[in-house]
Amino acid sequence: MTMKAAVLEHIRTSLVVRDIPTPEPKLGQIGVRVSACGVCRTDLHIMDGELPEPKLPLVPGHQVVGSVVDLGPGVSGFSAGQRVGIPWLGFTCGTCAFCVSGRENLCLQARFTGYHEDGGYAEYAVADARFCFPLPAGYSDLQVAPLLCGGLIGYRALRMAGRGARRVGFYGFGSAAHILAQVCRSQDQAVYAFTRPGDVSAQSLALRLGASWVGDSQQKPPVPLDAAIIFASDGALVPAALRAVDRGGAVICAGIHMSDIPSFPYDILWEERMVRSVANLTRADAREFLALAARVPIRTEVEVFSLEGANDALTRLRTGRIVGSAVIDLGGRR
Of the candidate residues 86, 149, 232, 310, the single one contacting Zn ion (CB under 5 A): 149
Site mask for Zn ion (CB under 5 A), range 67-96, x = bound: -------------------------xx--x
Q: Specify the residue, 122 or 190, whose C-beta has the smaller distance to Zn ion.
A: 122
- How many residues lie near Zn ion (CB under 5 A)? 8
Write down the least CB distance from residue 96 to Zn ion, Å.
3
Stretch that binds Zn ion, among 99-107, 223-231, 305-313, 317-325 (CB under 5 A): 99-107
What minimum distance in Å lies between the beta carbon of 271 and Zn ion?
Answer: 33
Question: Closer to Zn ion at the Cβ: 149 or 317?
Answer: 149
**Toward Zn ion, which CB reaches closer, 220 or 318?**
318
Is residue 176 a contact point for Zn ion (CB under 5 A)? no
Q: How many residues appear in the chain? A: 334
At closest approach, how far in Å is the CB of 273 from Zn ion?
A: 27
Give the residue with the Cβ less far from Zn ion, 23 or 146.
146
Under the criterion CB under 5 A, does residue 42 sit at the interface with Zn ion?
yes
Q: Taking contact as CB under 5 A, which single stretch among the options 40-48, 72-80, 182-190, 204-212 is the one that binds Zn ion? A: 40-48
40 near Zn ion, judged by CB under 5 A: yes
Stretch that binds Zn ion, among 129-137, 141-149, 168-176, 212-220 (CB under 5 A): 141-149
**Cα-Cα-Cα-Cα dihedral of 279, 233, 122, 80, to 10°?**
30
Strand partners, 250: 227, 274
Instruction: In whole angstroms, give the CA distance from residue 115 to residue 107.
Output: 15
What is the smallest separation between the CB atom of 88 and Zn ion, expressed in angstroms? 6
| Contact set for Zn ion, span 294-323 (CB under 5 A) | none
Query: For strand 167-171 and strand 190-195, is the pairing parallel, antiparallel, or unpaired?
Result: parallel
Q: Which is nearer to Zn ion, 92 or 217 (CB)?
A: 92
Going residue by residue from 105 to 134, which x/- string records binding to Zn ion, judged by CB under 5 A? --x---------------------------
| Shortest separation between residue 148's beta carbon and Zn ion, angstroms | 8
- Interaction of residue 51 with Zn ion, rule CB under 5 A: no
Q: Which residues bind Zn ion (CB under 5 A)?
A: 40, 42, 92-93, 96, 99, 107, 149
